[in-house]
Structure 1
Amino acid sequence: KLTRVSRMLLQENGREPTPEEIAEAMGVDVAKVREIQKIAQDPVSLETPIGEEEDSHLGDFIEDDRATTPSDSVAFTMLKEQLLGVLDTLTPREEKVLRLRYGIDDGKPRTLEEVGKEFNVTRERIRQIEAKALRKLRHPSRSKKLKDFLD
């Protein structure tokens, strides 16, 4: 009965009805409506068989938001290949500074201070090397290889 009244109110109002509206329409206490709604939320196993042959499960039809699509995966791989190719055009020092600063290898970006310690130079010198490397990457001969990946 609660489901039927809830659907009716949904059609009339064009939105989900509140427990108070359902209680008023049914002529029962709001606490009773909330209790019924809570009970109605029985968990359902993702292993519940679906279909006539029962060879599929409910979990097979639930999308994983965190999974990358094949096209995104291919695009990312191509971008990484192009990026590594462009980085190879820099001096070894500039390349390593950018790899460390932006966490290209391990996903962990480093501060100017951390990179400076690795090279035994000041963070200002690392900033200069980074700026020079980025300036080189902005040159059309290098940047055009990466422009296609901008959204």
Structure 2
Amino acid sequence: TETLNKLKKGQRELSQELGRTPTVTELAEYVELPEEEVKDLLCRARQPVSLETKVGDGDDTELLDLLASEGSQPEELVDGECLRMDMRDLLDQLPDLQGRVLKMRYGIDCEEPMSLSSIARELEMSRDRARSLERRAHEELRRLSKGMVSYLAA
């Protein structure tokens, strides 16, 4: 504990002198200890912090409130909705049957994606005709979406 107290005192003094948190190397030189020992002491001296610890000026914010959630962030939700709207706009530019086939194939504007066989049955056509419409729709989308490449990269 004497070495740890020496280390903490050195850390405070060096922080004031430098105006920033010292590096492990700087701290080791200051307290005249090997760098590995300083690293080890710093790791062992860490105290767990409760997520319910109050932070900030008031007593109304807890550390837990500041941690990022695993859910979608508002800007991600907006970006996703904008992308969906832009994709619908692109699909609406396709000839009617091609657009319908792709929307059904990928579950856009319906519950879930459909197989080519299901699409063919629904639209009363052969499976080969549905596949051909899907292929042509993809080709047309590639042509129409050249301008979206920079949008998607951003």
Considering the TM-score relative to the shorter chain, is it more than 0.5? yes
Q: Check conservation: 1:82, 1:145, Cα contact below 8 A.
A: no
Question: Cα–Cα, structure 1 residues 132 and 65, in superposed 2: closer, same or farther, change >3 Å?
Answer: same
> Which secondary structure state, in structure 2, belongs to the residue aligned with residue 150 of structure 1?
helix
Instruction: For 2:147, give the aligned amino acid.
Output: K
- Residue 85 of structure 1: which of 83, 89, 107 is its match? 89
Unaligned runs of 5+ in 1: 18-40
- Whether the 8 Å contact between 1:97 and 1:129 is mirrored in structure 2 is yes
The whole-number CA distance in structure 2 between the counterparts of 1:102 and 1:10 is 57
Identity %: 25
In the TM superposition, residue 106 of structure 1 has moved relative to its aligned partner by 4.4
**1:55 deviation in Å?**
0.6
User: What is the number of equivalent residue pairs in this alignment?
Assistant: 117
Does the CA contact (< 8 Å) of 1:83 and 1:146 recur in 2?
Answer: no
Shift of 1:128: 0.6
Give SS of 1:108's match.
coil
Partner residue in 1 for 2:109: 105
Change (3 A) 1:102 1:9: farther
Work out the CA distance in 2 between the residues paired with 1:106 and 1:81. Answer: 15
Partner of 1:63: 68
Alignment map for 1:1-151 (pairs within 5 Å): 11-12=39-40, 48=52, 50-51=54-55, 53-70=58-75, 72-106=76-110, 108-139=112-143, 142-151=144-153
Task: State the distance in 1 between where 2:89 and 2:103 align.
Answer: 13
| Alignment-mate amino acid for residue 53 of structure 1 | G
TM value normalised by structure 1: 0.59
RMSD: 3.3
Unaligned 5+ segments in structure 2 are: 5-35
1:75, distance to aligned residue in structure 2 (A): 2.7
The verdict on how the C-alpha distance between 1:68 and 1:110 changes in structure 2, with shifts beyond 3 A counting, is farther
